[in-house]
Amino acid sequence: MALVTTTEMFKKAYEGGYAVGAFNVNNMEIVQGITEACQDLKSPVVLQVSKGARAYANHNYLVKMVQAAVENCPDIPIALHLDHGPDFETCKACIDGGFTSVMIDGSSLPFDENVELAKKVVEYAHAHGVVVEAELGTLAGVEDDVNVSAEDSSYTRPEEVEEFVDRTGCDSLAIAIGTSHGAYKFKPGTKPQLRFDVLEDISKRLPGFPIVLHGSSSVPQEFVQKINAHGGKMPDAIGIPEEMLREAAKMAVCKINIDSDIRLAITATIREYFDAHPDHFDPRQYLKPARQAVKDMVAHKIVNVLGCNGKA
Ligand code: G3H
Ligand code: 13P
Ligand code: ZN
């Protein structure tokens, strides 16, 4: 199967009451860990690349690694997506350079400017067979070099979504309902909450339209504890409870973005490994279990959170 857009996978996910995982990729082991889990479980997947990933690993390396994964996983649809495209030029570079989906993130702009920017990207993308995710509402947390405080974040306003989708022609919409980027999503001692009423309202206004949730790592405490037990310092790291994401996946949410949990799986595994094997210095020795940890974590998400096993 060649690289695909997200159109068909989102349609099936919407109708089937599940979501597709969108996992951030930055190196070979991450690409392999994710796609091996998806291949084993016959699960569709979005591999997403941020501006920071392109700066770290280089566009060509990432595209070629994803193409290699497509060849190695013949049974599953894989989409290659630009995560948080910051401007038209970056989206164009990815559209011209082999991606099948791009996100234009104008969520920090005033409504009309967000519309204009997204519309421009949609026109170029659609002319080249590529789909576009846009965003309304602002998530808290850290992404690339942008840090949005909880006070500056804002939920998506349901009354704006129809006009936004109509005017931009975007193919999916990322919304803010209380998820946030990074490993510190809720204050310790507070009850994690998502605004399912906002999601419900939005989905009624956009029947059949795929909704995207960013900032959806669950920050598994086994990883946090392992990191802290082996020299790390991540007190009070808290994520979105898995059962809330499962609920969202049954609703209009068709794409769930996960990056921090990959970072935690790798870091926990390598920290533990170094403690146990202080004399080892061959990267293959510690990257192998790290890759396996990514694979195990993704398999867990597919079965217990996304519900997309067997949906390839
Ligand atoms: O939403 C942000 C993703 O976790 C990507 O993070 O920009 O540091 O690559 P990054
Ligand atoms: P997390 O930080 O919760 O993994 O979110 C990732 C994300 O939204 C990528 O766009
Ligand atoms: Zn995001």
pLDDT in tens, 180-232: 999 999 999 999 999 999 999 999 999 999 999 999 999 999 999 999 999 99
Q: Which listed ligand is nearest to 22 at the C-alpha?
A: 2
Sorting pLDDT into bands at 50, 70 and 90, what band is 277? very high
The pLDDT of 285-307, averaged and rounded, is 98
pLDDT of residue 292: 99
Ligand 1 proximity of 24 Cβ (cutoff 6 Å):
yes
**Contact at 8 Å (CB) between 212 and 172?**
yes
Does some domain include residue 63? yes
pLDDT of residue 232: 98
Centroid of ligand 1 to alpha carbon of 278 (angstroms): 31
**Contact at 8 Å (CB) between 144 and 50?**
yes
Does some domain include residue 2? no
Whether residue 110 has pLDDT greater than 70: yes
Q: Which atom of ligand 1 is nearest to the CA of 56?
A: 9
Question: Do the bridges between strand 146-148 and strand 101-104 make them parallel or antiparallel, or are there none, so unpaired?
Answer: unpaired
Give helix then strand counts, H and E, for the chain.
12, 10
pLDDT of residue 152: 65
Centroid of ligand 2 to alpha carbon of 176 (angstroms): 12
293: CATH: 3.20.20.70
Does some domain include residue 253? yes
Does some domain include residue 90? yes
Sorting pLDDT into bands at 50, 70 and 90, what band is 147? confident
Sorting pLDDT into bands at 50, 70 and 90, what band is 103? very high
Does some domain include residue 235? yes
Return d(Cα 139, Cα 247) in angstroms, integer.
19
Centroid of ligand 1 to alpha carbon of 84 (angstroms): 8
Centroid of ligand 1 to alpha carbon of 280 (angstroms): 30
Q: Which amino acid is at 60?
A: N
Ligand 1 proximity of 301 Cβ (cutoff 6 Å):
no
Ligand 2 proximity of 135 Cβ (cutoff 6 Å):
no
Return d(Cα 153, Cα 157) in angstroms, integer.
12
Strands (E) across the chain are located at: 20-24, 45-50, 78-85, 101-104, 131-136, 141-143, 146-148, 172-175, 211-213, 253-258
**Contact at 8 Å (CB) between 81 and 102?**
yes
Whether residue 2 has pLDDT greater than 90: no
Sorting pLDDT into bands at 50, 70 and 90, what band is 153? confident
pLDDT tens digit sequence for 302-311 = 999 999 999 9
Q: Which residues are in the CB-under-5-Å shell of ion ligand 3?
A: 214, 257
- The C-alpha angle 253, 255, 241, rounded to 5 degrees, equals 70
Q: Can you say whether the dihedral through the CA atoms of 75, 77, 80, 81 is positive or negative? A: negative
How many separate domains does the chain show? Answer: 1
Q: How many angstroms from the chain centroid is the CA of residue 243?
A: 18
Pocket test for ligand 2, best of 46, 146, 181 (most atoms within 8 A of CB): 181
Does some domain include residue 30? yes
Task: Mark residue 3 as left, alpha or beta (left: phi above 0; alpha: psi -120 to 50; beta: remaining).
Answer: beta
For atom 4 of ligand 1, the residue with the nearest CA is 259
Ligand 2 proximity of 181 Cβ (cutoff 6 Å):
yes
Structure tokens at 47: 């591999």
Ligand 2 proximity of 258 Cβ (cutoff 6 Å):
yes
Does some domain include residue 311? no
Q: Which listed ligand is nearest to 107 at the C-alpha?
A: 3
pLDDT of residue 150: 67
Give the chain's mean pLDDT: 96
Does some domain include residue 164? yes
Q: Domain range holding 39?
A: 7-306
Ligand 1 proximity of 143 Cβ (cutoff 6 Å):
yes
Ligand 1 proximity of 148 Cβ (cutoff 6 Å):
no
Q: What is the pTM of this model?
A: 0.97
The pLDDT of 93-115, averaged and rounded, is 98
